[in-house]
Amino acid sequence: MIADPVARIRRFNRAVTLEVGALDTSFLGRGRPLGAARVLNAIGQGLGDVGEIRDALQLDSGLMSRLLRGLEEEKLVVTEPRPDDARRRVARLTSAGRREFAAYERLSNQRAAGLLARHPHADELLAAMDLVASALGRERIAIEEVDPRGEAARHCLAEYYAELARRFEKGFDVSLSRDPQAKDMVHPRGAFLVAMSDGLPLACVGLKGDGGETAEVKRLWVAPSARGLGLGRKLMAAVEERARALGIRMLRLDTNRALPEARALYLKSGWTEIPRFNDDPYADFFFEKRVCAARDA
Amino acid sequence: MIADPVARIRRFNRAVTLEVGALDTSFLGRGRPLGAARVLNAIGQGLGDVGEIRDALQLDSGLMSRLLRGLEEEKLVVTEPRPDDARRRVARLTSAGRREFAAYERLSNQRAAGLLARHPHADELLAAMDLVASALGRERIAIEEVDPRGEAARHCLAEYYAELARRFEKGFDVSLSRDPQAKDMVHPRGAFLVAMSDGLPLACVGLKGDGGETAEVKRLWVAPSARGLGLGRKLMAAVEERARALGIRMLRLDTNRALPEARALYLKSGWTEIPRFNDDPYADFFFEKRVCAARDA
DNA sequence: GCCATTATCTGACCTAAGTCAGATAATCAT
DNA sequence: ATGATTATCTGACTTAGGTCAGATAATGGC
Cβ contact A36 with chain C strand, < 7 A: yes
**Helices B34-44 + B5-28 axis angle, to 10:** 90
Give the long-range contacts of residues A124-128, CB within 8 A, separation 24 or more.
Answer: A124/B131, A124/B228, A125/B131, A125/B132, A125/B135, A126/B5, A126/B8, A126/B9, A127/A224, A127/A225, A127/B128, A128/B127, A128/B128, A128/B129, A128/B131, A128/B132
The whole-number pLDDT of residue B249 equals: 93
Superfamily covering domain A140-290? Gcn5-related N-acetyltransferase (GNAT) (3.40.630.30)
Nearest to B121 among A126, A136, A228 (CB): A228
CB contact under 8 A, B152 and A2: yes
Asked if the model's pLDDT at residue B177 lies above 60, the reply is yes
Residues of chain A with CATH 3.40.630.30: 140-290
Separation in Å, CA of B211 to nearest CA in chain A: 32
The answer for residues whose C-beta is within 8 angstroms of residue A266's C-beta and 6 or more apart is A236, A253, A255, A287
The whole-number pLDDT of residue B293 equals: 52
Residue B136, Cβ density class (10 Å: 0-12 exposed, 13-18 middle, ≥19 buried): buried
The whole-number pLDDT of residue B28 equals: 55
Residues of chain B with CATH 3.40.630.30: 142-290
Per cent of chain B over pLDDT 90 is 49
Any idea which fold B142-290 has?
A: Aminopeptidase (3.40.630)
Separation in Å, CA of A56 to nearest CA in chain B: 12
Q: Which of chain C's bases lie under 7 Å from a protein CB?
A: 6-12, 15-22, 25-28
CB contact under 8 A, A6 and B116: yes
Q: How far apart are CA B221 and CA B164, in angstroms?
A: 10
Q: pLDDT tens, A270-284? A: 999 999 999 888 999
Separation in Å, CA of B87 to nearest CA in chain A: 31
Residues of chain B with CATH 1.10.10.10: 5-118
Phi/psi at A91 (nearest 5 deg)?
Answer: -115, 145
A12 touches chain B (CB under 8 A): yes
The whole-number pLDDT of residue A114 equals: 81
Phi/psi at B219 (nearest 5 deg)?
Answer: 60, 40
Residue B24, Cβ density class (10 Å: 0-12 exposed, 13-18 middle, ≥19 buried): middle
Question: How, if at all, do strands A214-222 and A85-93 pair?
Answer: unpaired
Closest by Cα among B291, B296, B295 to B215: B291
Asked if the model's pLDDT at residue B21 lies above 70, the reply is no
CB contact under 8 A, B129 and A23: no
Output the furthest CA–CA distance in chain A (Å, rounded). 71
Output the furthest CA–CA distance in chain B (Å, rounded). 71
Q: pLDDT tens, B145-156? A: 999 998 899 999
Task: Evaluate whether B192 touches B143 at the Cβ level (below 8 Å).
Answer: no
DSSP bridge pairs for A214: A250
Distance of CA A252 to the CA centre of its chain: 26
A114 touches chain B (CB under 8 A): no
Q: pLDDT tens, B216-255? A: 999 999 999 898 889 999 999 999 999 999 999 999 999 9
Mean pLDDT for all residues in chain B: 86
Task: Evaluate whether A129 touches B15 at the Cβ level (below 8 Å).
Answer: no
CB contact under 8 A, B15 and A133: yes
Interface test with B, best of A4, A8, A154 (most B CBs within 10 A): A8
Q: pLDDT tens, A188-242? A: 899 999 999 877 899 999 999 998 999 999 999 999 989 888 999 999 999 999 9
CB contact under 8 A, B133 and A11: yes
The answer for residues whose C-beta is within 8 angstroms of residue A156's C-beta and 6 or more apart is A194, A201, A203, A204, A219, A221, A223
- Split at pLDDT 50, 70, 90, the class of B16 is confident
| Nucleic strand C contact set for B 7-46 (CB, < 7 Å) | none
Lookup: nucleotide whose C1' is closest to B49 CA: C7
Hey, which CATH number is domain B5-118, 1.10.10.10, 3.20.10.10, 1.10.287.110, 3.40.47.10?
1.10.10.10
- pLDDT by residue for chain A (297 residues), tens digit each? 445 676 777 777 777 766 665 555 556 567 788 889 889 988 998 888 999 999 888 889 999 999 999 999 999 999 999 888 888 999 999 999 999 999 988 887 887 788 788 887 888 888 888 888 888 888 889 999 999 998 899 999 999 999 999 988 887 877 766 666 778 899 889 999 999 987 789 999 999 999 899 999 999 999 998 988 899 999 999 999 999 999 999 999 999 999 999 999 999 999 999 999 998 889 999 999 998 754 443
Asked if the model's pLDDT at residue B1 lies above 50, the reply is no
